[in-house]
Structure 1
Amino acid sequence: MAKLSEAIGAGAVTVDPASPIGPAEQVRGQLTALIQSGELAADTRLPPVRQLAGDLRLAVGTVAKAYKELEAADLVRTGRAAGTRVNPGRGLAEPAMAEALAFARAAHATGLTLEQAQGLLAVGWRQRVDL
């Protein structure tokens, strides 16, 4: 079984021990983003829990919790022989992804950090006009 980093690029999922967000939530959030962005395509097999835990130097239960939450959100499915695979139809709509990429490029071009860009997005989210 290939490492997740081999399937989607080294460092695709990382855990920041200094973050106020717990490790399971960090893993779940990053995998959710990879699935919704299309970087993890339908039927992509995620690494076994023990392997990802070892790769990230986390407890097995921490990664198992993240996988269980992904399954509860219907982003993945787990089968004994098939492992944990991405469910089809879970990517974001193409226009939303295109806008996200445009925002990321503009934020990067102006020298914003990821955290600053996320803060701007949060402000925009709160100020959005519901149609």
Structure 2
Amino acid sequence: MSDITVDLTSPTPVYEQIRSQVAGLVAVGTLSPGDRLPASRALARDLGIAVGTVQRAYRELEASGVVTSRRRTGTVVAAAAGRGDVDGRAPGRAGTVEDARRLVARAREAGLSDEAILDVVRGVLREP
């Protein structure tokens, strides 16, 4: 899973960087239900971090229902991950993802960093 990167100088804990990136990949459909995540040892080795850090990220993802972990199958994207309702259709999800892509593109064109874009979105989410 070469899409996952970590910034060891970031104030965001490494496990949270991994958790949020995997959750984001699931949310936009890059990772689908049933897709296997790398073994925690392999991902830790690839990222140059401790195995426990990856395991914590995976535990947090499992607690939120994004993945399931089993001894023989490893960690896989949960069947219900990213679903909008009980029959598997996610009303408005595709349009929302496209809107988010356009927002990111506009913000980057305006010169905002990824962190600044996230700050704007977090600020909007806190509005009443």
Q: Do Structure 1 and Structure 2 share a fold, with TM-score over 0.5?
A: yes
Q: Confirm whether residue 14 of structure 1 aligns to residue 9 of structure 2.
A: no
How many residue pairs align between the two structures? 119
Partner of residue 52, structure 2: 61
Q: What is the Cα deviation at residue 88 of structure 1?
A: 2.5
Query: What is the root-mean-square deviation in Å for CA atoms of aligned residues?
Result: 1.5
Alpha-carbon distance between aligned partners in 2 of 1:32 and 1:117, rounded to the nearest angstrom: 18
Q: Deviations over 1:15-73 (max 9, x none)?
A: 11111111111111111111111111111100001000000111111111111111111
Q: Confirm whether residue 105 of structure 1 aligns to residue 96 of structure 2.
A: no
Alpha-carbon distance between aligned partners in 1 of 2:70 and 2:123, rounded to the nearest angstrom: 40
Alpha-carbon distance between aligned partners in 1 of 2:27 and 2:80, rounded to the nearest angstrom: 9
The TM-score normalised by the length of structure 2 is: 0.85
Secondary structure class of the residue paired with 1:45? coil
Partner of residue 125, structure 1: 125
Please, which runs of 5 or more residues in structure 1 have no aligned partner? 6-11
The TM-score normalised by the length of structure 1 is: 0.83
Alpha-carbon distance between aligned partners in 2 of 1:57 and 1:100, rounded to the nearest angstrom: 31
Kindly indicate whether structure 1 or structure 2 has the higher relative contact order, using CA contacts under 8 Å at least 6 residues apart. 1
Instruction: Give the fraction of aligned pairs with identical amino acids, expressed as a percent.
Output: 37
Where in structure 1 do 4 or more consecutive aligned residues deviate above 3 Å? Answer: none
Please, which runs of 5 or more residues in structure 2 have no aligned partner? 84-92
